[in-house]
Amino acid sequence: MTKIVAIIQARTDSTRFPKKVLADILGKPMIVYLIERVKRSKLIDQLVIATTTRKIDDPIIDVAKKNKINIFRGNFEDVLDRYYKAAKKYQADIVVRITGDCPLIDPHIVDRIIQYFLENKYDYVTNTLEPTYPDGLDVEVFSFKALEKAWKEAQLPSEREHVTPYIINHPEKFKISNVRNSVDLSYLRWTVDQKEDLEFVREIFKRLYKEKTMFHMEDILELLQKYPDLKEINAGIKRNQGYLSSLKKDKICKRSKKHGEK
């Protein structure tokens, strides 16, 4: 039987917004809402929180234990290594990658992308190669075999820090696909990377969250249509700032290697 494991990566010392995953929203840490929403997936067999071995990340472990979520602790900088070892420990055949800064993740979208992966013979499926969903509803699904190959071969900082760039950058080695939304909503920002993002997300939960019911992308869109000023709270922040920073490290790495060869 194929085992589908969702791995949420999280740490407390984000450069741009430290302790954001533990930020309070309606009396609970932000990551708890992410956990609640991923649990609503009908296709995920197991959920794992993957954080670092550093003491600073102990509070994430405490939250995971309190919510009875599986834990893996691994390398701080080499997130690819952390993901691979977490997936191996929990015997994943298929890995669903979700980051800890996406508290509005939609389980319907998660399942749509998993289902697309299952119905086709791909190594990697996502909704981020050509973004058409709001930033913050990002999902990546890939086989353990693809993850293992990336783990063995990836060398650049961006390939180790962000898990899947090696797969994405080598379409000759992996069969890749992108799932598009019917309407391009990529201009909407629902992730949490800055304090303005947290303010926006707090407003969404304040207006839509109910303990025993789930709200989805369509509910948020309807709210934003009714209150368009909410979109201005975090407008103007660039997408994927962390990855762009890693690409700068790639250039330094390549220059260093070139210099060393002379």
What distance, in Å, lies between the first and last C-alpha atoms of the chain?
52
Can you give the pLDDT of all 262 residues of the chain as single tens digits? 899 999 999 999 888 899 999 999 999 999 999 999 999 999 999 999 999 999 999 999 999 999 999 999 999 999 999 999 999 999 999 999 999 999 999 999 999 999 999 999 999 999 999 999 999 999 999 999 999 999 999 999 999 999 999 999 999 999 999 999 999 999 999 999 999 999 999 999 999 999 889 999 999 999 999 999 999 999 988 766 554 454 554 554 544 454 454 3
Separation between Cα atoms, residue 96 and residue 255, nearest integer Å: 34
Residue 236's CATH number: 3.90.550.10
Containing structural domain, residue 38? 4-261
DSSP letters for the chain: ---EEEEEE--S--SSSTTGGG-EETTEEHHHHHHHHHHT-SS--EEEEEEESSGGGHHHHHHHHHTT-EEEEE-SS-HHHHHHHHHHHTT-SEEEEEETT-TT--HHHHHHHHHHHHHTT-SEEESTTTT-SPBT---EEEEHHHHHHHHHH--SHHHHHSSSHHHHT-TTTS-EEEPPPSS--TT-B-S-SSHHHHHHHHHHHHHH-BTTB---HHHHHHHHHH-GGGGGTTTTPPS-HHHHHHHHHHHHHHHHHHHHH-
For residues 161 and 83, is the Cβ–Cβ distance under 8 A?
Answer: no
Spatial CA neighbour of 116 closest among 181, 22, 160: 181
Domain total in the chain: 1
Spatial CA neighbour of 138 closest among 28, 239, 25, 257: 239
Separation between Cα atoms, residue 9 and residue 74, nearest integer Å: 10
pLDDT at 237: 85
pLDDT at 236: 84
pLDDT at 40: 97
Burial label for 56, CB within 10 Å (0-12, 13-18, 19+), is middle
pLDDT at 24: 97
Quick one: tokens of 64? 């995971």
pTM: 0.90
